[in-house]
């Protein structure tokens, strides 16, 4: 058994290749094989968001604070708030992040296949993200 007390693992800046804006990641678990689950707490500053991406075995989000946004390719942007859970199916192209004026933190849970738990695609443009002002 491994216990990591709160505050003993550094917060990471999320890779700028895959995120827009200020995003921080706090590790929860990277389970060793034969397990394959990974979990991380992700904090998005207002306006920050992931790039479009997919997950080979899907992803679960649990919003822990704030108000955020999530969108599946071709569908409307939807609001998510603290306590909401989201299931994104394997291969479903999507993005998630903060709302324009409010930060959002969520726990993200996903499973790796051959060491990879996400396939990263293009950035969410300001025009795409701005659509929230009309529709969410």
Residues at the site binding its own copies, with contacts judged by CB under 8 A = 1-7, 27-29, 31, 34-37, 39, 57-58, 60, 62, 64, 70, 72, 75, 78, 80-90, 92, 94, 107, 109-111
- Quickly list DSSP for 22-44: -EEEEEEEEPPTT--EEEEEEEE
User: Shortest Cβ distance from residue 119 to its own copies (Å)?
Assistant: 15
**Cβ–Cβ under 8 Å, residues 49 and 21:** yes
Q: What distance in Å separates the CA atoms of residue 116 and residue 38, rounded to the nearest whole number?
A: 10
Q: Which two structure tokens, joined as six digits, stand for 62?
A: 């649990």
Nearer to its own copies, 27 or 100 (CB): 27
User: Shortest Cβ distance from residue 113 to its own copies (Å)?
Assistant: 9
Nearer to its own copies, 10 or 17 (CB): 10
User: Shortest Cβ distance from residue 59 to its own copies (Å)?
Assistant: 9
Q: Which two structure tokens, joined as six digits, stand for 57?
A: 């075995």
């Amino acid at each position: 058994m491994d216990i990591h007390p709160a505050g003993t693992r550094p917060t990471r800046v999320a890779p700028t290749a895959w995120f827009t804006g200020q995003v921080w990641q706090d590790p929860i678990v990277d389970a060793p094989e034969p397990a394959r689950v990974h979990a991380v707490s992700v904090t998005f500053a207002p306006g920050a968001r992931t790039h479009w991406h997919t997950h080979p075995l899907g992803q679960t989000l649990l919003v822990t604070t704030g108000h955020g946004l999530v969108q599946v390719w071709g569908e409307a942007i939807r609001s998510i708030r603290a306590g909401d859970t989201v299931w994104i199916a394997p291969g479903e192209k999507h993005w998630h992040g903060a709302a324009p004026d409010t930060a959002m933190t969520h726990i993200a849970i996903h499973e790796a296949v051959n060491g990879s738990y996400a396939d990263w695609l293009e950035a969410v443009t300001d025009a795409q993200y701005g659509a929230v002002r009309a529709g969410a």
